[in-house]
Amino acid sequence: MHRAWRTIPIAAVLLAAACGNSTTTANQSQAPATGGKGGTIALFLPESKTTRYEAFDRPLFEAKVKALCADCKVLYSNAEQDPAKQQQQVEAAITQGANVLVLDAVDANAVAPLVNQAKQKNIPVVAYDRLISGIDYAYYVSFNNVRVGEMQGQALLDAMNARGTADKGQIVMIHGSPTDPSSADYKKGAKSVLDGKVKVGREFDTPDWSPDKAQQEMEQAITAIGRDQVVGVLSANDGMAGGAIAAMKRAGYKMLPPITGQDAELAAVQRILTGEQYMTIYLDIRSEAEKSAELAVSLVKGEKPQATDKVNNGTADIPAFLLDPIAVTADKIKDTIVKDKFYTVDQICTAEVKQACAKAGIQ
């Protein structure tokens, strides 16, 4: 995986981002006009319940555009998980003269008409993080999502085998939003590992990737299956893992079953160190954001970079850049998340976690 960015701490990016209003939609970030061919790049993110979008994706993308194109302007919008709101934001950006759209769709199966509007005005579209279906467009940038699910499934299976519980009870599977095609990929990958090796007691598709809804789902599963029969939880991301853990604590678990996650959220990293969560998938969000920014700037300049992959979206083979995920358990945090300065030691090792940090060699 590309790691050339390690010398730039993400904490510095977050500090700069904190100076702005992260909830403002259609917020323009104007780069200094110091020469070069500029244009307007519109970035659309789907929601803010998942920490990564406002804390990482947005500031990293904006910083890379500024570094590459002094005269380029970023028009930013967050849809707050509302497809109608995102439609209005995209149409407004087209009206305002956006030259390139970078779109992380709330409902990736329903935005083809928006992409078509852009195509009619010769505005290239980059699908960011979620594969848009039903239409051809310029590029797709994401992670190998099936591989993410495979890693989650294998980690859960390994943890249960280590405890000797894989065949002693049932697992709960908490998948992501049904409107996010990535969720189907994670599910596919996890099931390819777990099918035939464990018994699935309850399985949920969680609207909006909501931690609150995941907590309710986990409560329902515990009631239906029985507390002592839940031997593992496949959670597609960290936020929902937090909800599931809250439900299990409320149910009185003395020892939590292993539970997976994704996104390396700070709270999840701390939970992994203290033993509440088994693992997370660490995504190189910097590489994803910066690659998308590079593509957007190239498209503004009329260039067409050669993609490294192709992904079929049901209508066309989309030129793609697929990045590798990394499975992280407590023993790998130091050499991945800390080494890459994804978070500082001070951010991770608060008073409640300091002892666990020392045990993991993080000081």
Mean pLDDT of 160-180: 97
The CATH homologous superfamily to which domain 4-143+284-323 belongs is: Response regulator (3.40.50.2300)
pLDDT band with cut points at 50, 70 and 90 for residue 16:
very low
How many CB atoms lie under 10 A from the CB of residue 87? 18
- The three-class DSSP label of residue 36 is coil
> Residue 3 above 50 pLDDT?
no
pLDDT band with cut points at 50, 70 and 90 for residue 12:
very low
Which DSSP string corresponds to 132-187? --SS--SEEEEE-HHHHHHHHHHHHHHHHHHHT-TTTSEEEEEE--TT-HHHHHHH
Per-chain mean pLDDT for the chain = 91
pLDDT band with cut points at 50, 70 and 90 for residue 35:
very low
Percent of the chain with pLDDT over 70: 90
> Residue 39 above 50 pLDDT?
yes
pLDDT band with cut points at 50, 70 and 90 for residue 49:
confident
Domain boundaries of the chain, sorted by first residue: 4-143+284-323, 145-282+327-359
User: In CATH, which of 3.20.20.70, 3.20.190.10, 3.40.50.2300, 3.20.20.100 is domain 145-282+327-359?
Assistant: 3.40.50.2300
The model carries a pTM of 0.81
For residue range 290-345, list pLDDT tens digits in order: 999 999 999 999 999 999 999 999 999 999 999 999 999 999 999 999 998 899 99
Q: How far is CA 199 from each of CA 166, 195, 218, 295, rounded to the nearest angstrom?
A: 8, 8, 16, 44
